[in-house]
Chains A and B, each alone.
Chain A
């Protein structure tokens, strides 16, 4: 009874805000843009205007594949994973500070409800808003792909739980900061800063990991060349490989140290980007996007390439390592982070006098 009442009150609170309707209107606008983009044998169309494209045309891919790919790359990566998230944070950042505002908190704490339950229910109302936004977007896109692409792809609705989970990682920071500072502005700014920091650490870990991997493969490849008795290298080649091996061995401690630092910070942080990557993987598999695009969809840019190992070997190693971080590892470490944020916020809420 109390939970339903809090959810209903939260809906009333959100719907009383202009930002709520602005977010909803923007979502529908984005869907409108999504629906207005078409594909024909020449290329892409937008509001009836044609643009020739050698990659995006019906000879290269079906309309169904195009729309699914468009949903993944544009709908998830840019809209849901970036712009809609910022919009949702702006809309919901006041939920916790408003809960603990003088005059409001007295009314609700005097009721027979425990503080942890009250806080966690309020937190869930913020996620409900995000879920609602994703649901509206996914439903609209479902119909667009069905009508324009000719495929009724129910897997699109997987976006609702996964994007909501992604949002919950950021909203847990927002809720914790909101509880500690009691300020909507502070919680919004610090959450966005934390998101940027998480992205920077994720990028740093990826970068140093690539470097370390290239370094490892270089050493292995150099040693393989030097140890090859069937085709022994000539003296110049041997000297060159030995020099490269020495150089790789020399730089290895630096890579290990740099990656070690980034990795341990990275483990403790929520895997926001990886969560969306996982979403893409699931969608690509479930929605049967052609395998040629599959690898393209989640392989990152290559910064380092080993000198002695082949590009194919390096790519295979990158994929192998990427796969070693399972979905459960991503979800588990992210959930642990979220749990810590919520625990801090709950502890502050339970101990504080109002």
Chain B
């Protein structure tokens, strides 16, 4: 997918429905999860610890056996060897043997993904250069920092030139500069036509690169879509004026005068009085601005505001009835 195309259209790389997994009778790690990732997009998987993100990824990679699952990955059944050969996977907390060199790690990964010997030798050098380990390829991983091991892992995940790249917390332990490089690399992978599934706790990272996200809480996908779609309901229009809150604000007259928006809050802020209208767009706000000007009010600022991904995430992981954060861990 190139930037600018509709993220809700196109063939699916991951098309899974009803994914369930229980551990014993008490722990339900995944409860009928539906997930649909389009080819060529960067898809973010979010959720608190124990939400089931890694379990979902492990189900896709055949590391965990689901209780039930329907659908396909890259057009084939989950676990199909042909499909697995075209997926690159970097697991969370991976442990490559410390005595192997970076090059050996990449070459071993290539051999296990059925990449021909000559090809994987060529690719190993190129990939190590790409992740910034060109000069470290012949040194053992025991001499690498954590961030360097992540880079080596990423190179190993890409050795089979995958159509789908699944990255589970790829920037864990990576410094800010390295994170930036990782982000650039993920975008570059997307631009090459690959699908990237990114499982990360770093919301800013996901917000920056992902075209669509899913938020998981206690084994369920509670929100899924583009960030614009997910935050649309939270779109607000803020008008800051000098002086006190107009008397008509909050009255039925005001509400009728301002369809489709309605006054969300009105109160004194540092710069004056802030009026916040929910779901209002610029055109619909003009009558309000006209009225304020008619009354001789000074309009200090006008802006549209929408929820950040962090706000969205916090809303998703908060129990609306109690106002408390859902407890970590799978649903029981």
Q: Does A49 contact B (CB under 8 A)?
A: no
Residue from B85, B91, B97, B114 in contact with A13 in the complex, judged by beta carbons closer than 8 Å? B97
Residue from A9, A106, A112, A113 in contact with B91 in the complex, judged by beta carbons closer than 8 Å? A106
Q: Please state if B87 and A107 are interface contacts (CB–CB under 8 Å).
A: no
| Also in contact, A354 and B111, with CB within 8 A (given A12-B99, A106-B63, A112-B81) | no
Q: Does B314 contact A (CB under 8 A)?
A: no
Q: Please state if B95 and A1 are interface contacts (CB–CB under 8 Å).
A: no
Q: Does B104 contact A (CB under 8 A)?
A: yes
Q: Which residue of B lies closest to A17 (CB)?
A: B99
Query: Of A27-35, A97-105, A173-181, which stretch is located at the interface?
Result: A97-105
Q: Please state if B111 and A1 are interface contacts (CB–CB under 8 Å).
A: yes
Task: Give the number of chain B interface residues (Cβ < 8 Å).
Answer: 31
Residue from B94, B99, B113, B114 in contact with A16 in the complex, judged by beta carbons closer than 8 Å? B99
Q: Does B227 contact A (CB under 8 A)?
A: no
Q: Does A325 contact B (CB under 8 A)?
A: no
Q: Please state if A110 and B114 are interface contacts (CB–CB under 8 Å).
A: no
Task: Give A114 to B104 CA distance when docked, in angstroms.
Answer: 22
Interface flags for B51-92 (1: CB within 8 Å of A; 0: not) read 000000010011111000000000000000110110101010
| Also in contact, A111 and B84, with CB within 8 A (given A12-B104, A106-B58) | yes
Q: Please state if A103 and B111 are interface contacts (CB–CB under 8 Å).
A: no
Task: Give A102 to B84 CA distance when docked, in angstroms.
Answer: 20
CB distance from B154 to the nearest CB of A (A): 13
Chain A residues in 8 Å Cβ range of B87: 110
Q: Does B302 contact A (CB under 8 A)?
A: no
Q: Please state if B94 and A107 are interface contacts (CB–CB under 8 Å).
A: yes
CB distance from B161 to the nearest CB of A (A): 14
| Also in contact, A106 and B94, with CB within 8 A (given A1-B111, A2-B112) | yes
| Also in contact, A110 and B62, with CB within 8 A (given A16-B97, A102-B93, A103-B91) | yes
| Also in contact, A112 and B113, with CB within 8 A (given A101-B95, A106-B94) | yes
Task: Give A113 to B95 CA distance when docked, in angstroms.
Answer: 19
Chain A residues in 8 Å Cβ range of B94: 103-104, 106-107
Q: Does B109 contact A (CB under 8 A)?
A: yes
| Also in contact, A354 and B58, with CB within 8 A (given A12-B100, A110-B84, A111-B84) | yes
Q: Please state if A103 and B95 are interface contacts (CB–CB under 8 Å).
A: yes
Interface flags for B98-132 (1: CB within 8 Å of A; 0: not) read 01100010001101111011000000000000000
CB distance from B164 to the nearest CB of A (A): 11
Task: Give A106 to B93 CA distance when docked, in angstroms.
Answer: 9
Task: Give A1 to B119 CA distance when docked, in angstroms.
Answer: 13
Chain A residues in 8 Å Cβ range of B81: 112-114
Chain A residues in 8 Å Cβ range of B23: 353
Q: Please state if B63 and A353 are interface contacts (CB–CB under 8 Å).
A: yes
| Also in contact, A5 and B108, with CB within 8 A (given A110-B87, A111-B84, A111-B113) | yes
Q: Does A351 contact B (CB under 8 A)?
A: yes
Task: Give A21 to B109 CA distance when docked, in angstroms.
Answer: 27
Q: Does A109 contact B (CB under 8 A)?
A: yes
| Also in contact, A1 and B99, with CB within 8 A (given A102-B93, A110-B89) | no
Q: Please state if B114 and A107 are interface contacts (CB–CB under 8 Å).
A: no
| Also in contact, A112 and B85, with CB within 8 A (given A12-B104, A102-B93, A106-B58) | yes
Q: Please state if A112 and B108 are interface contacts (CB–CB under 8 Å).
A: no
Task: Give A267 to B112 CA distance when docked, in angstroms.
Answer: 40
Residue from B63, B100, B104, B117 in contact with A110 in the complex, judged by beta carbons closer than 8 Å? B63
Interface residues of B (CB under 8 A from A): 23, 58, 61-65, 81-82, 84-85, 87, 89, 91, 93-97, 99-100, 104, 108-109, 111-114, 116-117, 156
List the 9 closest A-B pairs by CB distance, nearest first: A103-B95, A5-B111, A16-B99, A112-B81, A106-B91, A111-B112, A110-B61, A112-B84, A353-B64
